[in-house]
Structure 1
Amino acid sequence: MPETPENAATTGARIHLENLTKLYPGNPVPAVDNVDMEIKAGEIVILVGPSGCGKSTTLKMINRLIEPTSGRIRIGDEDVTDMDPVKLRRTIGYAIQASGLFPHMTVAQNIALVPKMIGWSKSKIKNRVEEMLDLVGLDPGEFHGRYPRQLSGGQQQRVGVARALAADPPVLLMDEPFGAVDPITRDHLQDELIRLQHELHKTICFVTHDFDEAIKLGDRIAVLRERSHIAQFDTPEAILTNPADDFVSGFVGAGAALKRLNLTRVRDVGVVDFPTARIDDPLESIFELMRSGSHNELLLLDRNGRPYKWLRRGDLSRAKGSLARAGAPVQHSVSRDATLRDALEAVLTDSAGRVAVTGRRGEYIGVVDMETLMNNVQELLEADHLEAVEHQHQLQEQRARQTHLAQEGVDGADGGQGVKA
C-alpha cells in the first residue's frame, strides 16, 4: 500500500477485538474462538483463510450483523459491544460481493441512503452524492439517475463503495467485494481502492480468499486457521519472506519472489516521458514532431488527454489527411497505483514492450517499459537471495549455539572432565 503522506490526516479509527467468540446454538465447536486483534487507525488489514474458517463471521461481528457470543469490540475509544446495533451500523461503512445495491433505487438514492437515515439536509446529501460519484471515478451527470441494472459489474461495485463511504465513516468493512467481477475489472477496482485509501486514510478490514489480492491491498495480513485462530498477522513482506509455518507457506504458495511484484507500485519505478500529440492537433505538426524526434513512434491522446493510439512513422504516410484509420489503438494502460505485476502483464502483451501510465481520470502521465520492469524484478530477486542467505546463516548460528550449550551441559554433568567416546 502507498504510504500515508506525513501531512495527511488519518480519518480512520482503531479497531480492537478482545476475546471475540461466536458459538451457534446446537454446535459444540465455536465458529470463531477467542479472537484478539488490533487494527490500527488508517490501515488496511486483510483477513485471509480457507473457506469456512470464520473470517466473514469475524468481520460481521464488528458491525454486529452477527452478534458475538462473548468478547468485546472497541472502535476508537468506545466499547460498541452493547451499543444499539442499528445505530452502530450507520457509523460503519459496509461493502459486499455483488455490491448489494437496492435494485429499485437509483444510483443517487442508493448512495444517499445512510446520510438520509442520520438526518442530513437535502442540499448536503445532494452535494455528497456528487462528491462520492466523482471520488470513485463516475460522472455524476451520467450516473446519478441510473438504476443498478443499467450498470456494469465494475460500476456497481464502485457505487457500492461510494454508498459505504457516503456518511464519512471512520471504519469500512469489505466482505469479498470484488469476488464477483472478471479479473481485469477486479484489478481496476483494487487499484481504485488503493487510490481512495491514499486520499481518505480510513480503517479498512477486508475479507478475501485470494492471497494475491491480500498482498496487493493489505498493510497487514491476518492468515486465519479454523475458528479464526490467527496463524500469522504481519506485513505482506514479512509473510512472503518468513511464513510462520507450513500452513502459512501453503497460502503463500510457489513463486514468492514474483508475488512480491504486488508490493511495488508503478508510482515507485521510473515512469518516463514519451512523445505525444492530441487527436485534434494539425496533421502537419504531428508529422513535424515525428520527423524531428528520436522516436519512430508517438502516443496519440484523445481530447481528454487519455491514451488513444500508438502512431508509427509508416502510419502517418498512410494517413491521407486523416488519423481515423492510422495507428494501433491503445489496448492496455495502467494507473500509478497499479502494481509492478499488473504493469508487467500489460507490457508482456504489447509487441513494443511498453505501457502507458494514467492518472485518476485516465489522463496520460508517462510510459513504463520492459527494461525498467525487468531491472526492478532483478532487484527483487537479488534481495530475496540475500535474505535467504542471511536467514540460512542465522539458522546455522542458532544450531551452533544450541550444540555448544548442549555440549557445555554434558561437560558440566561429567564434572568438567568431558565425555569419552
Structure 2
Amino acid sequence: MPEDQPAQQPVQQSAEHSSVAGATIELESLTKRYPGTPEPAVDSVSMEIKAGETVIFVGPSGCGKSTTLKMINRLIEPSSGRIRINDEDVTAIDPVKLRRKVGYAIQSSGLFPHMTVAENIALVPKMVGWSKSRVKDRVEEMLDLVGLDPREFHGRYPRQLSGGQQQRVGVARALAADPPVLLMDEPFGAVDPITRDHLQDELIRLQHELHKTIVFVTHDFDEAIKLGDRIAVLREHSHIAQFDTPEAILTNPADEFVSGFVGAGAALKRLNLTRVRDVGIAEFPAVGVDEPLQSIFDRLRTSQHNELLLLDRRQRPYKWLRRGDLMRAKGSLARAGTIVHDTVTRDATLRDALEAVLTDSGGRVAVTGRRGEFVGVVDMETLMNSVQEMLEADRLTAMEHQHELAEQQAGQDQEHTRAEQEGATRAEPRS
C-alpha cells in the first residue's frame, strides 16, 4: 500500500467556517519585461478563467508559464497589463494582502523546516487574524482533507515526512485560509511517478469537494490532460497557441506546434479523460484479517470467484487469497496469498487503471475510497469495453467533422460558381 494513504476517521468541518468557492480570473495584456533584455519574458497575455475551473499552463521550458502564474499573485510584478479577480483589479493593491487571499503551492512543498506540520498549515490563518480555536480546528480539518491523520502528523517536522506527504501538507497550507484561488507551480514534479499519480488523484478529489479556481503549471502534457478542465498551450513569451478543453486539443490541435506537444498516441492519451468512477466498479468478495480461518476457507470454497480479497483492520486491500493458498500455507494467513501492490482510486484515470490491471496476473485492480478503504474492483473486460466505446465515439466524431467540412466546401463551391455566373451575366453585351 502507498505510504501516503493512511486511513483515519473524518474530522467534521467547523460550523464557524464554510468553504469559499472559486473566483473568476481575468488577465488583460499582461506583460513582463526585464531590464537589459530585448524581448519581454511574457508578452501581452490575455485570458479569462472561470470560477471553479482548473486551468493548466503547459509549454516548453523558458516559455514564461511560471512567470505568468507568479504575476497573478504578484510574486513577480507585471510591467504592464491588468489582473482582475472576481472583477476586482488587484494590480495596484497591497501585494502582501493579495497573496494571503491566493493559495500557492510549489515543487518540493516549500515548507518551513523549523516549523511543525501544524505550524506550517496555521501560518496564513494566523496572519489574517483567525482565532486560536478556529486555527486549531482548521489545521485538523485540512490534514484530514488531504488524507493525513491529524493525530499522527500534527507535531511532525517536514524532514520526518515522505516527499508525497510533504506535498500534501503544502497543499493543505495553501488552502488553509480558504482562498478562492489556488496557484500551483509544478507541485508534483519532484516526487516519484507512483506518488505523483496518487497526488494527482488527490487533487482531483479535492477539487470535486472544494470547487476552487486552480491555475497549474506543468511541462508534462499527460498531467495537463489528466487534471485540466482547460489547457493553455503556451509558446515563447507565453503567447497562447491554443486554449481549449483537453479533448478538443487531443482531437483537433490548432497547429503543428500544438501537435508536437500532444505527441504520438493521442487516442491512448484520451484514456486520461475518463475516470474510474465513470465506469463499472464491480463488487468483489472480501474478508477481514480477523475473521476465523475456517470462515475464510469456506468463503473461498463456495465463492463463484477463484479468489477473495483480504482486508486489513482499516478495511484496506492487503492480500489476494486464491483457492489452495491456505492449504499450501498450512492454514496461516501470514504466509498465504499475494500482497496487493497496486490499487487505484475512484478519481484515477482509465490509463492508470489499465496500467495497474496489465501488471497484475489476475486481470483486475482494487478500487479504494478516500482513506484507502476497499470499494470494489475494475477488471480488464470493463476497461476494454470503455476503450471500445471511446474509439467508436471518436470515429463518429471524425465522420461528423469530415461531413461538416464537406458541406462547407460544397457551400463555398456553390458560392464561387454563383459568383462566376453573376460575373459572366454582367459581362454579357446588351443587344
TM-score by length of 1: 0.95
- In structure 1, the residue corresponding to 2:257 is in which secondary structure? helix
Shift of the alpha carbon at 1:168? 0.6
8 Å CA contact retained: 1:9, 1:201: no
Residue matched to 2:212: 202
- In structure 2, the residue corresponding to 1:101 is in which secondary structure? coil
Shift of the alpha carbon at 1:18? 1.1
One-letter amino acid matched to 2:419: G
Residue matched to 1:162: 172
Are residue 249 (structure 1) and residue 259 (structure 2) matched? Answer: yes
For residues 299 and 336 of structure 1, the distance between their equivalents in structure 2, rounded to whole angstroms, comes to 18
Are residue 355 (structure 1) and residue 355 (structure 2) matched? Answer: no
Residue matched to 1:5: none
8 Å CA contact retained: 1:10, 1:41: no
For residues 414 and 200 of structure 1, the distance between their equivalents in structure 2, rounded to whole angstroms, comes to 66
Matches within 5 A, 1:160-239: 160-239=170-249
Task: Name the Cα RMSD after superposition.
Answer: 1.5
One-letter amino acid matched to 1:80: V
- Structure 1 range deviating more: 390-399 or 371-380: 390-399
For residues 146 and 79 of structure 2, the distance between their equivalents in structure 1, rounded to whole angstroms, comes to 37
Are residue 346 (structure 1) and residue 359 (structure 2) matched? Answer: no
Shift of the alpha carbon at 1:227? 1.3
Residue matched to 1:144: 154
Are residue 405 (structure 1) and residue 405 (structure 2) matched? Answer: no
For residues 207 and 353 of structure 1, the distance between their equivalents in structure 2, rounded to whole angstroms, comes to 35
For residues 94 and 15 of structure 1, the distance between their equivalents in structure 2, rounded to whole angstroms, comes to 15
User: What is the percent sequence identity of the aligned residues?
Assistant: 80
Q: Closer, same or farther in 2 for the Cα pair 1:352/1:380, shift >3 Å?
A: same
- In structure 2, the residue corresponding to 1:36 is in which secondary structure? strand
- In structure 1, the residue corresponding to 2:280 is in which secondary structure? coil
CA deviation vs aligned residue, 1:109-162 (integer Å, no higher than 9, x gap): 111111111122222211111111111111111111111111111111001000
- In structure 2, the residue corresponding to 1:414 is in which secondary structure? helix
Residue matched to 2:139: 129
Residue matched to 2:86: 76
Shift of the alpha carbon at 1:224? 1.1
Q: Closer, same or farther in 2 for the Cα pair 1:277/1:32, shift >3 Å?
A: same
Residue matched to 1:109: 119
- Structure 1 range deviating more: 125-134 or 92-101: 125-134
For residues 185 and 295 of structure 1, the distance between their equivalents in structure 2, rounded to whole angstroms, comes to 31
For residues 241 and 181 of structure 1, the distance between their equivalents in structure 2, rounded to whole angstroms, comes to 30
Q: Closer, same or farther in 2 for the Cα pair 1:157/1:9, shift >3 Å?
A: closer
For residues 276 and 137 of structure 2, the distance between their equivalents in structure 1, rounded to whole angstroms, comes to 33
Shift of the alpha carbon at 1:408? 2.6
Residue matched to 2:98: 88
- Structure 1 range deviating more: 123-132 or 63-72: 123-132
Residue matched to 2:328: 318
For residues 153 and 340 of structure 2, the distance between their equivalents in structure 1, rounded to whole angstroms, comes to 26
Shift of the alpha carbon at 1:77? 2.9
Shift of the alpha carbon at 1:105? 1.2
Are residue 333 (structure 1) and residue 343 (structure 2) matched? Answer: yes
Shift of the alpha carbon at 1:78? 1.5
- Structure 1 range deviating more: 398-407 or 341-350: 398-407
For residues 285 and 54 of structure 2, the distance between their equivalents in structure 1, rounded to whole angstroms, comes to 38
For residues 135 and 9 of structure 1, the distance between their equivalents in structure 2, rounded to whole angstroms, comes to 12
For residues 99 and 346 of structure 2, the distance between their equivalents in structure 1, rounded to whole angstroms, comes to 33
8 Å CA contact retained: 1:10, 1:42: no
Residue matched to 1:391: 401
Give ranges in structure 2 of 5+ residues lacking alignment. Answer: 1-17
Are residue 377 (structure 1) and residue 387 (structure 2) matched? Answer: yes
For residues 167 and 25 of structure 1, the distance between their equivalents in structure 2, rounded to whole angstroms, comes to 36
For residues 46 and 87 of structure 2, the distance between their equivalents in structure 1, rounded to whole angstroms, comes to 17
Q: 1:269 aligns with which of 262, 275, 279?
A: 279
| Number of equivalences | 411
For residues 174 and 364 of structure 1, the distance between their equivalents in structure 2, rounded to whole angstroms, comes to 30
TM-score by length of 2: 0.93
Shift of the alpha carbon at 1:53? 1.2
Shift of the alpha carbon at 1:344? 0.2
Q: Closer, same or farther in 2 for the Cα pair 1:9/1:163, shift >3 Å?
A: closer
Shift of the alpha carbon at 1:417? 8.6
